[in-house]
Structure 1
Amino acid sequence: MKHAKIDYSEVLGVRTIDKRLDILRAIHDAGSISEAARLCGVSYKAAWQAIETLSNLAGLALVEKLVGGSGGGGARLNEAGLRVLEVSDLLNRAREQTLARIENTGKVEGLNLPGIASVGFRTSMRNQLPCSVEKIERHSASAQIELAMERQSLQAQITHESLELLHLKPGQKVIAMFKATAVSIVPSMVAMKGVNHLQGRVLRRGKGVSGFEISLEVGTDLTLVGFAGPQTILKGRQSAVAAVEANAVVIAVAS
């Protein structure tokens, strides 16, 4: 029987120690999505979201539901799901061996490994800033994550399911990402709820379609890109503010 082709690089990404893969493995062990969710400490909804995301990335279903039985049925991994777990285990072992060799060379001292790891994925979001999780607040509709950058902070608003799947905790290293088009750069701005204000200095200014594209230095060797309106006057080295809504910030876990 010819196997359907799975794009393992998409399913497994750069980092194969993934909450979604933990859920997939728990389904294999427990034979139930609800039990897998319990074992992994996530909601049933989050478990289903993980399955759907992995299946979308793989290009075919990884889990099949079982009908009947005293418990009303269960779930199991199909052949594709089992192959994903097998390749994940192989990649994890190879990754651990490679990291051990790299660390033994002593060449990683002082480097931001989560930031370097993010080079492995491609995204349309030009702004990718290394941060650490400072505080997590759960609200009725979403979770607010406070991220610490060099000398300033950034807030992200994500769903409870995303919080569970990313398994975020204070002190964790992450990458904050957002599109350049989501950033407005102005000389100054009054504080607004739900909007991040990042202080910086103008490094570069280029003409855009409907204004100016601005590169703003917001920390030591830390730059973001945004846009200023056609009437906004900003010069090189001038102080400015980058405004980006909290719900436009995406959190990526790279290590």
Structure 2
Amino acid sequence: MTPPPPLSHAGLAGALGHEAADKRLDILRRIGQVGSISEAARGADVSYKAAWQAIDTLTNLAGAPLVERTVGGSGGGGAQLTATGLQLLDAADTLATLRQQALAQVAQRHAPADGVAPRLAALSLRTSMRNQLPCQVVALQRAGRAMQVRLRLSDGSTLVSRITRESAELLDLAVGSEVLALAKATAVAVLAAPANGSALPNRLHGTVARLARSTSGDEVVLTLACGLQMVGFSAPGLQLKVGQAAVVVFDDAAVVLAIGG
């Protein structure tokens, strides 16, 4: 069997941007130990849905599948880590050791009252935004006091973020910059394809992967054409189905940009 390609620098930086105690890595590690997403969720004291969110986010950031479903057997199937998932955990262990060594060295050079080591430990980005898409900047255009940033996903599809010009400067954005596009799930509407009536500037096509039904509108996980996942909400009564073609639409002002530090 051909060995998997090593994780890219961008994939490692994105997926391991937090310390190894990150709950998402804990869930991934537990899946490798017990061979079940539901059991891993229980062991990590999170819901099954939250466990899937962790898998989707890490997969997006790593740029390769980390978990694969298995079928058959006495338990009726389960899940196992891919070779890339195992690589990621090995890298996480290495980084955790190096991180602790670095923090110990900082603590030796600074008095506890300085608070330097605690501040370093808190620098990692944590966000409630469930949609996190690795992109590349392909164009920047001034629009009054704002800057419109056109972004390209790995399959060539594009989206737009509208941020302040000051933010664009502080991020040092330029054509070719690698960024992370973030959007709250509540800012993303999911429509049945082709959804030609929407006036929102961002439209990404995909297939419904999972649903959580609700009388106020279903929460929908969509697998985009590029393989990434997006989460949004459909209108009450739309009744999308798993496997159905759908479109996510969202405003350019709803897209927040982040870069690795």
TM-score range, shorter chain: 0.5 to 0.7
Aligned to 2:179: 174
Once residues 152 and 197 of structure 2 are traced to their aligned partners in structure 1, the CA distance between those partners, rounded to angstroms, is 18
**Contact 2:153/2:226 (8 A) holds in 1:** no
Match of 2:150 among 130, 146, 151: 146
Is it true that 1:135 corresponds to 2:139 in the alignment?
Answer: yes
**Contact 1:200/1:219 (8 A) holds in 2:** yes
Aligned to 1:14: none
**Contact 1:114/1:174 (8 A) holds in 2:** no
**Contact 2:201/2:252 (8 A) holds in 1:** yes
Once residues 208 and 144 of structure 1 are traced to their aligned partners in structure 2, the CA distance between those partners, rounded to angstroms, is 35
**Contact 1:114/1:173 (8 A) holds in 2:** no
Once residues 208 and 116 of structure 1 are traced to their aligned partners in structure 2, the CA distance between those partners, rounded to angstroms, is 31
Do the aligned partners of residues 123 and 171 (structure 1) sit closer, same or farther apart at CA in structure 2, a change above 3 Å counting? Answer: same
| 1:158-197 superposed matches below 5 A | 158-187=163-192, 188-190=194-196, 194-197=200-203
Once residues 235 and 154 of structure 1 are traced to their aligned partners in structure 2, the CA distance between those partners, rounded to angstroms, is 25
Aligned to 2:130: 126
Once residues 107 and 158 of structure 1 are traced to their aligned partners in structure 2, the CA distance between those partners, rounded to angstroms, is 34
Once residues 220 and 173 of structure 2 are traced to their aligned partners in structure 1, the CA distance between those partners, rounded to angstroms, is 31
Aligned to 2:160: 155
Do the aligned partners of residues 165 and 109 (structure 1) sit closer, same or farther apart at CA in structure 2, a change above 3 Å counting? Answer: closer
Once residues 129 and 166 of structure 2 are traced to their aligned partners in structure 1, the CA distance between those partners, rounded to angstroms, is 22
Question: Which segment is superposed worse, 225-234 or 112-121?
Answer: 112-121
Do the aligned partners of residues 191 and 175 (structure 1) sit closer, same or farther apart at CA in structure 2, a change above 3 Å counting? Answer: farther
**Contact 2:200/2:249 (8 A) holds in 1:** no
**Contact 2:198/2:249 (8 A) holds in 1:** no
Q: Kindly provide the CA deviation profile for residues 89-125 of structure 1, in whole angstroms up to 9, marking residues without a partner as x.
A: xxxxxxxxxxxxxxxxx95447623422544421110
Once residues 14 and 258 of structure 2 are traced to their aligned partners in structure 1, the CA distance between those partners, rounded to angstroms, is 10
Instruction: Report the alpha carbon displacement of residue 223 of structure 1 after superposing the two structures with TM.
Output: 0.3
Instruction: Report the alpha carbon displacement of residue 229 of structure 1 after superposing the two structures with TM.
Output: 1.2
Once residues 224 and 131 of structure 1 are traced to their aligned partners in structure 2, the CA distance between those partners, rounded to angstroms, is 14
Ranges in structure 2 where 5+ consecutive residues have no aligned partner:
19-123
Once residues 232 and 193 of structure 1 are traced to their aligned partners in structure 2, the CA distance between those partners, rounded to angstroms, is 19
Do the aligned partners of residues 191 and 113 (structure 1) sit closer, same or farther apart at CA in structure 2, a change above 3 Å counting? Answer: farther
Instruction: Report the alpha carbon displacement of residue 254 of structure 1 after superposing the two structures with TM.
Output: 1.3
Q: Kindly provide the CA deviation profile for residues 145-167 of structure 1, in whole angstroms up to 9, marking residues without a partner as x.
A: 00101221110000011011000
Aligned to 2:256: 250
Once residues 131 and 257 of structure 2 are traced to their aligned partners in structure 1, the CA distance between those partners, rounded to angstroms, is 12
> What value does the CA root-mean-square deviation take over the aligned residues?
2.1
In structure 1, the residue corresponding to 2:218 is in which secondary structure?
A: strand
Once residues 236 and 247 of structure 1 are traced to their aligned partners in structure 2, the CA distance between those partners, rounded to angstroms, is 29
**Contact 1:191/1:197 (8 A) holds in 2:** no
Once residues 161 and 10 of structure 2 are traced to their aligned partners in structure 1, the CA distance between those partners, rounded to angstroms, is 25
Q: Kindly provide the CA deviation profile for residues 206-240 of structure 1, in whole angstroms up to 9, marking residues without a partner as x.
A: 12361100000014441010001111121111110
Instruction: Report the alpha carbon displacement of residue 250 of structure 1 after superposing the two structures with TM.
Output: 0.0
Once residues 17 and 201 of structure 2 are traced to their aligned partners in structure 1, the CA distance between those partners, rounded to angstroms, is 25
Amino acid of the structure 2 residue aligned with 1:179: K
Instruction: Report the alpha carbon displacement of residue 195 of structure 1 after superposing the two structures with TM.
Output: 2.2
User: What count of residue pairs does the alignment treat as equivalent?
Assistant: 150
Once residues 191 and 141 of structure 1 are traced to their aligned partners in structure 2, the CA distance between those partners, rounded to angstroms, is 29
Aligned to 2:214: 208
Larger Rg over CA atoms: 1
